[in-house]
């Protein structure tokens, strides 16, 4: 097997920074969709590469070789390192499968647990209010889901700001944002570099809901104020932990960036499209090379098999 099979495993290290830069230059909705699409495609291709590497080693198993009428010595000659590499790939693929299963199971278990906890609370329409003085708010997907908000949060905001909060959480639910976040989590199981896409996706999804809420109330400044006041209320809440003082972080956290984004012009009017175009060219090239390499590696493996079959059609040894 040639170099091609390694490309899908290496390219995420290049494509992830490109996707992050491109997402930063796009409006939130296309940015979020781009991040999820990139994560999904790169994860599938790197999974395929692992499967091909492991598959090449599986061919050497005597049972498989005899079933496929393959000549093992010939396979040995065309791909000498296939067995040790294949074993490592199989272990990696097993680890990926376990991680994916754990994420899916944890996701389901958490949903069941939260749904059970919500029963019996003050509920009307799609809203559940928790009688808690700490300020907090969530969007909870699924059947008994909806918007969950604490009494402390409702009392910390004025009526217009509360409308922003509800519109924001409903935008998460109607946009099925939890599925995007789950997909990115699953992709991160397949390749460690893809973990770098989760944080920008979480940010873009919040921005998406912020913009949707601003559109519902028809006032971006009001939306900015609501997000800022909610964050300050949440951080002043009695349930909040002590924050480490001192050492200022290099970059502002996600909430100030969200508020700042709402205070400037809407995202469509902004951003340098020339830069976005060149970064997207890089990202597209990464994906194309990765896809082509996976296809090439599949052809290689197929050719190896045919060579080995041709070899075993000749005298099969004593």
Partner 1 sequence: MTEDIRRQAGELEAAVLVVLWAADRPLTPPEVQAALTEPLARTTVATTLARLHAKGTLDRVRAGRAYAYSPAVEDRAALAAQRMHTELDKGDDRQGVLARFVSRLSSADEIVLRELLEQAAEPGERS
Distance CA 35, CA 260 (A): 22
Q: Which of the residues 62 through 81 are near partner 1 (CB under 8 A)?
A: none
Per-residue contact string for residues 80-119; x = within reach of partner 1 by CB under 8 A: -----------------------x--xx-xxx-xx--xx-
Distance CA 53, CA 67 (A): 20
- Of 127, 131, 123, 124, the C-alpha closest to 146 is 127
Note whether 189 binds partner 1 by CB under 8 A: no
Note whether 151 binds partner 1 by CB under 8 A: yes
Q: Which of the residues 229 through 268 are near partner 1 (CB under 8 A)?
A: 229-232, 234-235, 239-240, 243-246, 248-249, 252-256, 259-260, 262-263
Q: Please, what is the minimum distance in Å from the beta carbon of residue 29 to partner 1?
A: 15
**Both tokens of residue 224?**
């900015």
Residue with tokens 């393959």: 70
Measured from the CB atom, is 29 or 123 closer to partner 1?
A: 123
- Of 65, 101, 127, the C-alpha closest to 186 is 101
Measured from the CB atom, is 197 or 227 closer to partner 1?
A: 227
Q: How far apart are the first and last CA of the chain?
A: 29
Size of the site for partner 1 (CB under 8 A): 87
Per-residue contact string for residues 163-182; x = within reach of partner 1 by CB under 8 A: x-xx-xx--x----xx--xx
Measured from the CB atom, is 125 or 315 closer to partner 1?
A: 125
Measured from the CB atom, is 59 or 201 closer to partner 1?
A: 201
Contact 152, 190 (CB under 8 A): no
Contact 35, 17 (CB under 8 A): no
Distance CA 24, CA 28 (A): 8
Note whether 33 binds partner 1 by CB under 8 A: no
């Amino acid at each position: 097997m040639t170099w091609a099979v390694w490309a899908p495993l290496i390219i995420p290290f290049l494509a992830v920074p490109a996707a992050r830069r491109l997402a930063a230059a796009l409006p939130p909705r296309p940015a979020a969709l781009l991040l999820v699409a990139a994560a999904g495609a790169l994860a599938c291709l790197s999974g395929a590469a692992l499967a091909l590497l492991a598959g090449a080693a599986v061919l050497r198993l005597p049972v498989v070789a005899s079933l496929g009428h393959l000549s093992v010595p010939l396979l040995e000659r065309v791909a000498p390192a296939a067995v040790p590499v294949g074993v490592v790939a199989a272990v990696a693929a097993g680890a990926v499968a376990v991680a994916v299963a754990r994420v899916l199971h944890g996701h389901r278990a958490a949903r069941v647990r939260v749904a059970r906890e919500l029963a019996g609370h003050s509920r009307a329409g799609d809203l559940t209010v928790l009688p808690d003085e700490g300020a907090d708010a969530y969007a909870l997907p699924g059947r008994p889901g909806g918007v969950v908000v604490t009494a402390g949060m409702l009392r910390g905001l004025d009526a217009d700001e509360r409308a922003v909060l509800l519109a924001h959480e409903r935008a998460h639910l109607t946009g099925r944002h939890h599925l995007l976040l789950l997909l990115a989590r699953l992709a991160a199981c397949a390749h460690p570099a893809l973990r770098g896409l989760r944080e920008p996706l979480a940010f873009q999804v919040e921005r998406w809901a912020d913009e949707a809420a601003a559109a519902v109330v028809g006032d971006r400044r009001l939306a900015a104020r609501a997000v800022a006041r909610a964050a300050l209320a949440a951080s002043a809440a009695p349930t909040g932990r002590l924050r480490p003082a001192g050492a200022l972080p290099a970059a502002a956290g996600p909430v100030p960036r969200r508020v700042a984004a709402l205070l400037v012009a809407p995202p469509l009017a902004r951003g340098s499209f020339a830069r976005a175009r060149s970064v997207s060219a890089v990202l597209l090239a990464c994906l194309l090379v990765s896809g082509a390499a996976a296809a090439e590696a599949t052809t290689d493996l197929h050719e190896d098999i045919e060579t080995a079959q041709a070899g075993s059609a000749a005298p099969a040894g004593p």
